[in-house]
Amino acid sequence: MRNNAAISKGIDWSLVWIYLALVLIGLSAIFAATYQEGDPVLQSFVAFKTDYSKQFYFWGIALVIGFFILLTDSKFFPTTANFWYAVGIILLLLVFPFHSRIKGTESIIRIGAFNFQPAEFCKIFVALALAKYFSRPETNFNRPGSQFTAALFVLIPGGLAILQRETGLALVYFSFFLMMYREGLPSIIPTIGFAFAILIIASIIIPPNILAILLSVIAILLIYFSRRQIRRRRQILTSILFIWAIAVGIQRFAVPFIFEKVLQKHQVERIYNLFGKDNPYDPQQQALSEEASRKKKESGSSYNVRQSKIAIGSGGFFGKGIFSATQTRYDFVPEQRTDFIFCTVGEGFGFLGSMLLLGLYLALLLKMINIAERQRSTYSRVYAYGVLSVFFFHIAVNIAMTIGLAPVIGIPLPFISYGGTSLLTFTVLLAILIRLDADRQMVLR
């Protein structure tokens, strides 16, 4: 009894409840998406055959591991953080010679019946290691050197994930910049990032020449309105001209370079489809007639989004009920157990159900921020923000892509999507957070 009391002492139960609720919603959503009438439910649970039973067992494993994490001494995490990070990177590197041949990805190692995706659970190690780095007394995040080192922690696994053709997972690593922002990343960096994003979107929507003229007009207007200041300080003129040159340069050269050389064709297509446009960098697409390109769109990547929107949209306010949800039950939405699981919720339970799920997620995220802010040790706080960043990115991007607000990036919805690795990863991330929070009175180094 005393032991038990010690473990549960300080544990934030609200997180646990939210976690259990989400996993149960996820299980029923997977059940709804894959159950066919007449399937023997009990038997399939025993036989480990169907997706919902597999997910159920994964959950069991995740619970066991989570429980062990709760039993662990908090000091264990900062002490071994660097070791775990090293393990993670090594695993990521091992993928290159040992990855299995599974559709369109090179990020999976197969051991026996299980698939491991190191890029997925390496998130945990990065969060731990970053927290460790930030909590070192000698780290001063105001120094560019420290900023650079911190960025390296993120960019190395991110870069490796890109090399494994897992752009979606790689982007998740960039979400740690949200945490870094909280820890004092100069505002100028997110501002530049934001401006860069706007410029890219603008160059997708607006034809290049017109955009160049627009930018020039803005620059001239700026110079005109700030002519007095310029008279006093020549530097302002220089910087305006410099920014103008950079902007035009990005729009004219960097964007085409990224779309043509860096990103893969289907990714560019997804981005363009998001704005309802054809990919201009695809010579094949150019050659297609209007009719053919429309057809291609209907069957291509925007097919997913279109079907997903139909499924969610047809759910209405109350939803159709899980077994009458024609769109998700009859496989109209591809990948609906994994990345597009939100469709099942949207169609089966309607606006009401979606709101409930979103509410749970919002509660989870806000709770994480609160938890982070109440930590006494930097280590715990940074780690909490790291977890928050990862969760936020997954939730926002996944849901946004199913309703056509974000390009299709193959990342799972935490606790809901089918997939053992992702369920395990998120459970571990959360369990460590709960463990650290339970010991928030301690100062960890």
Q: Which stretch binds another protein (CB under 8 A): 24-32, 162-170, 274-282, 327-335?
A: 327-335
> Which residue of 40, 60, 184, 276 would you call a contact of another protein, by CB under 8 A?
184
Q: By CB under 8 A, tell whether 140 contacts another protein.
A: no
> Which residue of 192, 197, 373, 445 would you call a contact of another protein, by CB under 8 A?
373
> Which residue of 109, 212, 219, 358 would you call a contact of another protein, by CB under 8 A?
358
Q: By CB under 8 A, tell whether 379 contacts another protein.
A: no
Q: Are 408 and 304 in contact (CB under 8 A)?
A: yes
> Which residue of 170, 311, 413, 429 would you call a contact of another protein, by CB under 8 A?
311
> Which residue of 309, 360, 410, 442 would you call a contact of another protein, by CB under 8 A?
309
Q: By CB under 8 A, tell whether 356 contacts another protein.
A: no
Q: By CB under 8 A, tell whether 317 contacts another protein.
A: yes
Least distance (Å) between residue 392 CB and another protein: 6
Least distance (Å) between residue 184 CB and another protein: 5
Residue list 380-399, contact with another protein (CB under 8 A): 381, 385, 388, 392, 396, 399
**CA 48 vs CA 41, 43, 54, 61, 389: distances in Å:** 11, 9, 6, 14, 34
Q: By CB under 8 A, tell whether 369 contacts another protein.
A: yes
Count of chain residues binding another protein (CB under 8 A): 48
Cβ proximity to another protein, 165 vs 309, nearer residue: 309
Q: Which stretch binds another protein (CB under 8 A): 49-57, 238-246, 376-384, 422-430?
A: 376-384
Cβ proximity to another protein, 164 vs 398, nearer residue: 398
| SS3 of the chain | CHHHHHHHCCCCHHHHHHHHHHHHHHHHHHHHHHCCCCCCHHHHHHHCCCHHHHHHHHHHHHHHHHHHHHHCCCCHHHHHHHHHHHHHHHHHHHHHHHECCECCECCCEEECCEEECHHHHHHHHHHHHHHHHHHCCCCCCCCHHHHHHHHHHHHHHHHHHHHCCCHHHHHHHHCHHHHHHHCCCCCHHHHHHHHHHHHHHHHHHCCHHHHHHHHHHHHHHHHHHCHHHHHHCHHHHHHHHHHHHHHHHHHHHHHHHHHHHHCCHHHHHHHHHHCCCCCCCCHHHHHCCHHHHHHHHHHCHHHHHHHHHHHHHCCCCCCCCCCCCHHHHCCCCCCCCCCCHHHHHHHHHHHHHHHHHHHHHHHHHHHHHHHHHCCCCHHHHHHHHHHHHHHHHHHHHHHHHHCCCCCCCCCCCCCCCCCHHHHHHHHHHHHHHHHHHHCCCCCCC
In a 13 Å sphere around the CA of 381, the CA atoms on its Cβ side amount to 15
Q: By CB under 8 A, tell whether 181 contacts another protein.
A: yes
Q: By CB under 8 A, tell whether 365 contacts another protein.
A: yes
Interaction mask 4-33, another protein, x per CB under 8 A: ------------------------------
Cβ proximity to another protein, 37 vs 138, nearer residue: 37
Least distance (Å) between residue 304 CB and another protein: 11
Least distance (Å) between residue 315 CB and another protein: 6
Q: By CB under 8 A, tell whether 321 contacts another protein.
A: no
Least distance (Å) between residue 299 CB and another protein: 11
Q: By CB under 8 A, tell whether 375 contacts another protein.
A: yes
Binding site for another protein (CB under 8 A): 37, 178, 181-184, 307, 309-317, 326-327, 330-332, 346-347, 350-351, 354-355, 358, 361-362, 365-366, 369, 372-373, 375-376, 378, 381, 385, 388, 392, 396, 399-400, 403-405
